[in-house]
Amino acid sequence: MDILDSLNDAQKEAVVYANGPLLILAGAGSGKTKTLTHRIAYLLTQQRVWPNEILAVTFTNKAAREMRQRLAALTNQHNTRQFMPWMGTFHGICVRILRRDGEAIGVPANFIIYDEDDRQGLIKQSMKQLSIAPDKLKPRSVSAAISNAKNDLLTPDDYAASAQYPTQQNIAKIYDLYERLRSEAGALDFDDLLIETVRLFRDASEVRQKYRQHFKHILIDEYQDTNAAQYAIVKYLVNEARNICVVGDDWQSIYSWRGADFKNILNFERDFPGAKVVKLEQNYRSTGAILEAAQKVIAKNVERTDKKLWTAAGNGAPVQIQSARDEAEEAYVVANRIAAQVSIGARRYGDFAVLYRTNAQSFAFERAFMQQKTPYQLVGGVRFYDRKEIKDVIAYLRLLYQPNDRMSFSRIANVPARGIGATSLEKFLLWQSDNGMDIITSLVNVQQTSTLTSRARNTLENLGGILRELQALVISGANPSDIIEKLLEKIGYRDYVMDGTPQAEDRNDNISVLAADAKSFATLPDFLEEVALMSSADQQNDGEKVTLMTLHAAKGLEFPVVFMVGMEDGLFPSERALEEGPRNLEEERRLCYVGMTRAREELYLSYAQSRAQFGLRTYNQPSRFLDDMGVELFALPTSSKNAAVYDEFDELVMNYDIGDRVRSLQFGDGEVVDIDGLAVSVKFNNGTTKKLNIEYARLEKL
């Protein structure tokens, strides 16, 4: 088989280019992996380059395995690690180099590698030695800050020199001690694998020269995702022949939050004068309509290379925009559209993907799919009711409702951190079981026991006072949402989750979604019952499933049908991007482009006119990205049948009679069986009866 037979003209040009720097700008779905693999095969078979003289870097072990497999098939070689020994991730390559030559800069050959748990453990130890309380500065936040510093090649001294605020100054102290303790342990963390390799090549000229001469060709995949340390490694390794080939797409650079700098690919021609540039512009994935809309979005970016994607597959179905009244209707419409296509045999569940900007958005779709009995899988995330922050809040609520719930109490006794250790907790629960009082009453009266230290008694008593106050709200029949918000305020839970890590905002959004959802229930018991049913809902574990995932997690994947949801200013693009200026907005636009180009055949975009965020209902403008796509896009009208349900407040609080047939977007159709003020009990067709708050349940009379 001729290596060039299956390639288009641009791919062939990239494959056969013999010597010198080469930049392959590979648009979405243009066959970049195929091109890179065939180029390596060409070097091996036609240029007679030895496999161990080629350095081929990918960004995941999976990508490396797949590339090695394809390459072995192309060249009729056995697929073993001995074949292409220098093919792997940056971290994997760096481990091999440091094992061999790290001693030149004092890195022991037998170093151990610390994972994230190990790192946070050592950070906690450092904080303890420095008397910095973990409730003032979260170890996760410190870890993220240290990681960012290392990826930017900042030493503890560098970080300390730029630290302006007390928090940064404390992190600088922790960073310094962490580095000393880590070094004493003969350990490297994942970031060290990169920066120590940079230091090795910088400070040990003989080692640097050895590898520069060894690698005759260097190929880097996903070059737009390289950070400062990875970029430095590449620059050190390129020799006088300058046989470096990088493949990437600046239009798909979406990881600046973890240190990636897309300007590395924009500056390639500056770094390597005379570089050949090959553009892969033929798309093999998406229809013409999808590509046209996506390119209109990315065209608004100023900092980008110039490409024009095209396809031979024809225009296909028009890109469609759906307006919904709120997030519940948005999810309901998507679930119904999927169910309709599957029911007539037009599609399988596995053909569909729902992509969203934040993990918190999955909740409405999880609920809608459960109601429709649609099988789904959450990729790169945890099911809503399985998320730690949700389980924490629910545990508090269960304890308020049932103050003998030892399991819930054990979960929340030290969340947020109160200094209640395992021993103190065990002693308290032993005393509580002996005294005949429930847990909350025992907390209030904990000064009666002598088995606990004075500090532990005072801490538990304070917790008891908070829980007693919240318990009074439950007894008075307060709305579950109000109880949640009061709980979050009293225990400082939002401060607890907003710990500076990249996931902090997602966690905060999740508890806001929970609070907003609770508004539609009249009482806490009704809400807890619904939670129990939702969290234990049966899921099909076999066969086809709809995929739910964030836009970031979708990179590199493709689906026949894609729903991009939550297309609203403030959500996508995010509020932060709108506030922080053009560079952040351009990354959001690249993320939009990535999402759109995941679709092969059909693309649906939707936005909600109102959405529950941060405990409030906000009214949003459609995303500016929709305007970027052009007015000729086909817009689906919102159902007029349901419109009355969502009109002004006065029309929301409708007059109901027992026996009325109603529809809920959350629970389906049912019959009103009881009315008590603004609380209405509805028996739904699935056999469940819900007591709902009429102001927020949004019931439609049938």
**Which of 307, 398, 598, 663 is flagged as catalytic?**
598
| Residue 616 near residue 333, CB atoms below 8 Å | no
Catalytic site residue 32?
yes
| Cα(310)–Cα(30) distance, integer angstroms | 9
Strands 679-684 and 668-676: antiparallel
Q: In sequence order, what are the residues at sequence separation of 6 or more whose Cβ sits closer than 8 angstroms to the Cβ of residue 622?
A: 323, 567, 568, 569, 607
**Cβ-count burial of 525 within 10 angstroms (0-12 exposed, 13-18 middle, 19+ buried)?**
middle
**Each residue of 233-266: b (16+ CB within 10 Å) or e?**
bbebbbeeeebbbbbbbbbbbbbbeebbbbebbe
Selecting among 252, 372, 432, 666, the annotated active-site residue is 252
679 phi-psi bin (left φ>0, alpha ψ -120 to 50, beta other): beta
690 φ, ψ to 5°? Answer: -120, 135
Which amino acid is present at 298?
I
Catalytic residue among 32, 119, 398, 690: 32
Residue whose token pair is 């403030």 = 570
Q: Which of 11, 33, 322, 501 is catalytic?
A: 33
- Active-site choice (189, 221, 329, 509): 221
Q: Which residues contact 35 (CB under 8 A, 6 or more apart)?
A: 7, 11, 14, 15, 24, 26, 247, 280
Burial grade of 107 (CB within 10 A; 0-12, 13-18, 19 or more): buried
434 catalytic? Reply is no
Q: How far apart are CA 523 and CA 676, in angstroms?
A: 12
State the Cα–Cα distance between residues 219 and 86, nearest whole angstrom: 11
Cα separation, 370 vs 360, whole angstroms = 17
Q: Read off the tokens for 509.
A: 């959004």
Rounded CA-CA distance 255/74 in Å is 32
Long-range contacts of residues 206-213, Cβ cutoff 8 Å, at least 24 apart: 206/104, 207/101, 207/104, 208/236, 210/101, 211/97, 211/237, 212/236, 212/237, 212/238, 212/239, 213/239
Q: Are strands 54-58 and 22-26 parallel, antiparallel or unpaired?
A: unpaired
Is 222 annotated in the active site? Answer: yes
> How many other C-beta atoms can be found within 10 angstroms of the C-beta atom of residue 153?
17
Active site residue 598: yes
Catalytic residues, by residue number, are: 32-33, 221-222, 252, 598
